[in-house]
Structure 1
Amino acid sequence: MPTIEEELGRRSLLYSLLMPVMSQFVPGLDKGKGMYFLFIKSEAKTPSGLVARPVLTSYYKSTHFKDRPYDPYTNYTSPNETILCPDSYQSMYSQMLCGLCQHKEVLRVGAVFASGFIRAIKFLEKHWRLLCNDIRTGTIDSQITDQSVREAVMKILKPDPKLADFIEAECSKDSWQGIITRLWPNTKYVDVIVTGTMSQYIPTLDYYSNGLPLVCTMYASSECYFGVNLNPLCKPSEVSYTLVPTMAYFEFLPVQRNNGVTSSISVPKTLNEKEQQELVDLVDVKLGQEYELVVTTYSGLYRYRVGDVLRVAGFKNNAPQFNFICRKNVVLCIDSDKTDEVELQNAVKNAVNHLLPFGATLAEYTSYADTTTIPGHYVLYWELSLNGNTPIPPSVFEDCCLTIEESLNSVYRQGRVCDKSIGPLEIKVVEPGTFDKLMDYAISLGASINQYKTPRCVKFAPIVELLNSRAVSSYFSPKCPKWFPGHKQWSNNN
């Protein structure tokens, strides 16, 4: 996305609004620090010599971030050097080490996305022994070779056997439930994005945090920063954002829903003449209506379709507030069916209820439209967290398959039942750690660790091969879902 220097100042302004909003709901945030796991990605250059890098990398490397004046509300446990380290392992290790050393000062924890914060907890689960050794001896592990990182960490790290013993005792326990509040006892909330597909991480975050508030403070993208959440302690399902009209020029394309399903046809980023005539200004949006967000930015994007579908949830004075509903693009398609990510998320959410009696939860998932079979079928890859000792019978996973199919739209079910154009849905259970491997692979190809989100659909052959190679069991829907001929059917082409 094109950007200009002025845009960094505008984004800094939005960041400066977050803590004044939070302090209205959580007092005393100026009395401690935030433990945030923030990362950069190495830069590239375009053929013309322009710097190309992720938007957050651009911000963290700017003087707006690096040379920011001291502010008790934006005081982090991670020194700038640890955030700006391009090696993801060294960056994560050093940030975690600094967070543990300052554990009593931490009042809030977070990352950009829920998935990123959970990855940090998983990192701690794997490397706590090394971290304890560093704290006990006051030295840094030899794998941390970045000199600027070592120097910055040594300003914080002092030999503390008592703290090392405390961390070791907590991390050695059989259960990691509440590990956040156990290690960082003064934490008041978890600051991560848990809207959209990130909502599937809510149970895991609740488990690790003992039910601390999950706060979504802002709404932003690479194209533009949009707005803030003025009621940050609301339930994740009720999060709404108030757009800041000076961030860009916002317009809204009405989205038609039919039988409760948002049309999710993959669309170009530009508007045709008819769509331009349908655009609605920010002041003219209607309560309850859904819109596709269109932006004209100071950096040069003109009437650009962001791809997000928003619903008008209410108003703050006269300012509209929006729920994030979904990305508009299709996730899965075999035939005439078109399944978007919000449909898939809801279907999976319904299915995982079958796992609860067995003490199991869904840690991560993705999907694949397998057209190598005749007919093609949906494949879901599930990584489970097993908190109980009761084996899960195959029939339970078959029930999960059927529940997902029952939860999908009527076009899909017609293809399964009547047209026979779609085969039975399949769930493949994969080994623990599979999705960490998937993320590592994506990062090795150039993805940004700071902005990585697990794809809800995969198509790239090496990724499908990776997932298949780690599958430990496979289950199919035992019968067709319900579908009633004669009911009005909805098509994405209507």
Structure 2
Amino acid sequence: MGSGFGVTLKLSESFCRPHPSSQSFNCCYIRYTPIYYPSAPKSENCGKVEPLPVPQLQVYSMATERHQAGLEIFEYLTTNAYQIQEQVLEEILNRNARTEYLRGFLNGQCDKQLFKKNVPIITYQDVEPYINRIANGEPSDILLAEPLTGFYRSTGTSGGQPKLIPSIDEEDKLVLRDTLIESVIRKHFGDLDKAGKRMELMFAKPEIETPSGLMARTATTVLFKRSSFINILPKLYTSPIETIFCLDTNQSMYCQLLAGLIQRDEVVRIGSIFASAVLRAIKCLEDRWKELCSNIKTGHVSDWITDSGCRNALSLILKPNPDLADSIENICGCESWEGIIKKLWPKAKYIGAITTGFMSQYTAALEFYSGGLPLVSSFYVCSEAMCGINLEPLKRHADVSYTIVPNMAYFEFLPVKKDCPTIFPDQVGVSHQESKEMKSNNEAIEPVDLVNVEPGQCYELIVTTSAGLYRYKIGDILMATGFHNNAPQFQFVERQNVILSIDAEKTSEADLSRAVTKAKALLDPLGFLLTGYSSYADTSSTPGYYVLFWELKRKESNDTKELDPKIMVECCSRMEESLNYTYKVYRKENTIAPLEIRVVKEGTFDALMDYYVSQGVSMSQYKAPSCIKSKEVMKILDSGVIGKFSNPEIRF
């Protein structure tokens, strides 16, 4: 998500800081890239890194010119991707080769080839003991020379457990990231910041202090606390800062919706980090639109909103407005909510939210509610690193590729020994793109550099960062789709560690998504939307079997049509027919029992989200688990089951 403020771009050696001669929001210098820090301590035998010569650009005063400069910077970065990657790694080694962690592999040397030969590829479990030592009070030079400013706290909903990711002060990178994203958006949609405001649903979480005194925060909370964000919030966003930092997620959501409705004629874009939060907002609106209208009509917020910050902030913008309340009532009181977002916010140009990967399960519902607004996934980012941006935001979600930003980290790509799926809707469940010929099983598969990936091949992403992660496996599987200049582009395929398995078969997140997509197509003409799903492998009996939890919603509010059991049984068959060859073999041999779909009542997946939020997950970063690993989560989903369906017949 971009920070939203315009920036004056200048390629220089100066650190990003407000322009001293102006008080406007459009005054911030950014340098090209933090390749070399003159004040950084250097390890022995490590020389100074000389940055690439950067073509000078004048300081632009007009917004259009500034963001054109942002596009030029990106062209420069991607054209010189190889040199920039070499510099990024060299600078990291120059600074950190004598840290405890790297010294054991490099003996204080900064040689890049020695780094690739000796430093192992790791997962979080490998580096966790070092991170815990720092969190418990040991010096940060265990991992990196520069003092840590804190930790990012990942949600844990993808991999099962939250992680502490080391962070340092990289404000210049954040400004550059935001500028690049906003430059692309402005290229396709114009200067929306002049046209109106963003109704962005944002949810901060409390900070956690580690024994060392360093704070652990979600990445979004770090963003929301940036002074640059707080300064431009009233000008560019509908949500008051108090609603973002309200600790009660339900009050926060309600108040942000109320603020967005009050300012509905100013809203030019709508969104959140993930599509799941946007749909949760629509559900809140469906449940409480009459109450929201009453608040607008009377000018008083509901009594159950007890957070003083929310009440005080809303009192500044909430005045009696019967005409606005009547308009919203007329829209929300219709039989169908198809296109409701565009009807309520008629000036909105797009919905900004990540809809790739496992978030793709929410796209059908979002498209139903959107009224034709484009769904824009602007960036690919994780707690460990900013990775890529979407240069073609108007592409349909299944076609989105992210272009790697070469100066954000040192990237390596580990080829995956598997068929890499095509992930276009019209091919889902039908075909697989053959992977490139891999090395023989007797040879170790080595990661390749950023400029050497091959389109059509799947890779697991590995990053080396300035914050002390070295050859660290993110856990994401990506498919290379091409290049922009010399920087590769990727589609997100799946999380590496999310699979279902009963015996020797392995069903990945992408496999599961394809099967669900093919099966749920049977429900579309019947007026039902699949609004959420998850899964687990039930091995409590023999043979074990796959269980899918589906939450369904009627498109028409007055539709009393019951779910046809025969259709649901057919959905089970469609899913099994769409799974991989090994699954089908074991299913035929009765090593695996018939797949089961359990339909849960509406609101069950909201309850699941509420559970994770109560455990410290930010709603802004929430991702529903595709594969359940928690007994508590299982109880929540099982408590909502209203129907179970399976088909013992084998049709393949």
Common fold by TM > 0.5:
yes
| Match in the other structure for 1:21 | 184
Equivalenced residues, count: 467
CA contact (8 A) 1:430 1:472 kept: yes
Distance 1:294 1:466 in 2: 35
1:365 aligns with 2:533: yes
**1:377-398 residue CA offsets vs partner (Å, 9 max, x unmatched):** 1111111112355444322111
After TM superposition, the structure 1 = structure 2 runs for residues 361-440 of structure 1, keeping only pairs within 5 Å, are 361-387=529-555, 388-418=559-589, 420-440=590-610
Q: Distance in 2 between matches of 1:4 and 1:390?
A: 52
**1:323 is matched by which residue type in structure 2?**
Q
2:254 is equivalent to residue 90 of structure 1: no
Q: What SS does structure 1 have at the residue aligned with 2:229?
A: helix
1:80/1:17 CA distance change after superposition, 3 Å: farther
SS in 1 for 2:585: helix
Q: Which residue of 2 is the match for residue 2 of structure 1?
A: 165
What is the one-letter code of the residue matched to 1:6?
Answer: D
**Hey, what's the Cα distance between the residues in 2 that align with 1:40 and 1:377?**
39
Report the residue type matching 2:547 in the other structure: V
Structure-to-structure mapping, 1:265-414, within 5 angstroms: 278-387=446-555, 388-414=559-585
- The alpha carbon displacement at 1:172 in A equals 1.5
Give the counterpart of 1:115 among 248, 255, 276.
276
Corresponding letter in the other structure for 1:238: D
> In structure 2, do the counterparts of structure 1 residues 58 and 465 end up closer, same or farther at CA, with 3 Å as the change threshold?
same
CA distance in 2, matches of 1:144, 1:120: 17
Compared CA separation, residues 456 and 480, structure 1 to 2 (3 A): same
Alpha-carbon RMSD across the aligned residues, in angstroms, is: 2.0
After TM superposition, give the deviation of residue 199 of structure 1 in Å: 1.0
For residues 11 and 240 of structure 1, the distance between their equivalents in structure 2, rounded to whole angstroms, comes to 21
Q: Which amino acid aligns with 1:19?
A: E
- Mapped contact 2:464–2:472 kept (Cα < 8 A): yes
Structure 2 counterpart of 1:471, from 641, 648, 652: 641
Match among 221, 224, 239 for residue 60 of structure 1: 224
- 1:47 aligned onto 2:215: no
CA drift of 1:68 comes to 5.0
Q: What is the identity, as a one-letter code, of the residue corresponding to 2:331?
A: E
Deviations 1:224-270 (A, max 9, x none): 1112111111111111111111111111111222485799xxxxxxx
Residue 200 of structure 1 aligns to a residue in which SS? Answer: helix
Partner Cα separation in structure 1 for residue 233 and residue 617 of structure 2: 31
Q: 1:268 corresponds to which residue?
A: none
| TM-score normalised over the length of structure 1 | 0.90
Tell me, in whole angstroms, the C-alpha distance in 2 between the residues paired with 1:55 and 1:69: 18
Match of 1:458 among 628, 632, 640: 628
Partner of 1:311: helix, strand, or coil? strand
Q: What is the aligned-residue identity percentage?
A: 47
* 1:200 aligned partner: 361
Q: Would the alpha carbon gap of residues 357 and 21 (structure 1) be closer, same or farther in structure 2, given more than 3 Å must change?
A: closer
The whole-number CA distance in structure 2 between the counterparts of 1:192 and 1:62 is: 21
Please say if residues 14 and 227 of structure 1, whose CA atoms lie closer than 8 Å, have aligned partners that are also in contact. no
Whole-Å separation in 2 of the counterparts to 1:366 and 1:19:
34
Secondary structure of the residue that 1:204 maps to in structure 2? helix
The answer to whether the 8 Å contact 1:138/1:158 transfers is yes
Partners of 1:398 and 1:278 in 2: CA distance:
45
The 2-side partners of 1:66 and 1:22 are apart by 21
The match for 2:54 is none
Query: Could you say if the C-alpha distance between residues 479 and 3 of structure 1 is closer, same or farther in structure 2, counting changes exceeding 3 Å?
Result: same
Matched, 1:175 2:344: no
CA–CA distance in 1 between the matches of 2:309 and 2:540?
51
Measure, in 1, the Cα distance between the counterparts of 2:232 and 2:529: 42
Q: In 2, Cα distance between the equivalents of 1:363 and 1:321? A: 30
2:174 matched residue in structure 1: 11
1:132-151 correspondence runs (5 A): 132-151=293-312
**Distance in 1 of aligned mates of 2:378 and 2:453:** 23
Measured in 1, the distance between the counterparts of 2:620 and 2:569 equals 36
Contact 2:597 2:645 (8 Å CA) reproduced: yes
Distance 2:205 2:651 in 1: 45
Larger Rg: 2
In the TM superposition, what whole-angstrom CA distance separates every residue of 1:328-347 from its partner, at most 9, and x where no partner exists? 12321111111111000000
Higher strand share: 1
Paired residue secondary structure (2:169): helix
